[in-house]
Amino acid sequence: MSGYIKTDLTGQVAVVTGGGGVLGSYFCTALAEAGAKVAVLGRTLANCEEVAEGIRHDGGEAVALSCDVTDKSSVEAARTEIGRALGTCDILVNGAGGNSPKASTDDEYLDLERLEDPEAKDFFALDTDGIDFVFKLNFLGTLIPSQIFGRDMAPKSHAAVINVSSMNAFTPLTKIPAYSGAKSAVSNFTQWLSVYMSKTGVRVNAMAPGFLATKQNRDLLFDKDGNLTERSHKIISATPMGRFGEPEELLGTLLYLADHEASGFVNGIVIPVDGGFSAYSGV
């Protein structure tokens, strides 16, 4: 028995939805460095191809495919292409997700004085199409790939589904009710699917990232002078480690959940990677 497990995914096929995005690109690269053949899926093919080309440049094997995770026929088509190019899926990372301004309020608390203000973007003014978009992208965008690729994974002796939840699933943040609700659904679905697949070789788990500083959200976290915004001060004060996370700090958890040798008896959990945010009561 080895006292140290090095993740070796050689020969396995990893499918990453949202693979052309900020976090997804890190996931793809880490899986490739562990030896997996990686299918990079996303809506913007150019972004996915850039990630796949980087993997190939470093000696790995990868394909890029345009895919809408909310459209079953699109995911089916991707599955067919991946099967031809790489083989059937062993590791599915459901990384596609996001929010919409149409599903977010401008206020943290209802201001009764603005209740009749037509310009107020409060809870009562939220756009139902925006809410529908957020739920489809995050929840259906996790469920549908799990259906399509899970069919190939089920007969295998070892396979892993890794979903991406959020701190919002533990405690909803102000302003973003749809995103919080959708990520809660992802966490609940992770548990449900883990039980449903438990008599097969498929394990289903999730990561719940805390607040990360990425190129995508840096303008929301810092002002033009590099100082924390008012909302960022609240985040940091509620994070015991006193800082934002970096995307690289998710990768150890990702590889742990992907590797049967490391986590073969781990099933149905949601792991916070959050600097202690979910553990802190504020006092």
Residue 54 pairs with which residues in a beta bridge?
none
Give the whole-angstrom CA distance, residue 257 versus residue 203. Answer: 9
How high is the pLDDT of residue 1?
43
Name the helix (H) or strand (E) containing 64: strand 62-66
Looking at the predicted structure, is the pLDDT value of residue 206 above 80? yes
Task: Confirm if 183 and 165 have CB atoms less than 8 A apart.
Answer: yes
Give the rounded percent of residues in the chain with a pLDDT score beyond 90.
90
How high is the pLDDT of residue 4?
60
Structure confidence by residue, pLDDT tens digits, 105-142: 999 999 999 999 999 999 999 999 999 999 999 999 99
Domains and CATH numbers, the chain: 13-210+246-277 (3.40.50.720), 215-244 (no CATH)
Give the catalytic positions in this structure. 179
Structure confidence by residue, pLDDT tens digits, 88-102: 999 999 999 999 999
Structure confidence by residue, pLDDT tens digits, 24-81: 999 999 999 999 999 999 999 999 999 999 999 999 999 999 999 999 999 999 999 9
Global pTM exceeds 0.85: yes
Give the whole-angstrom CA distance, residue 111 versus residue 125. Answer: 13
Half-sphere exposure of 202 (CA within 13 A, CB side): 27
Q: For tokens 């945010």, name the residue.
A: 277
Strand, helix or coil at 225? Answer: coil
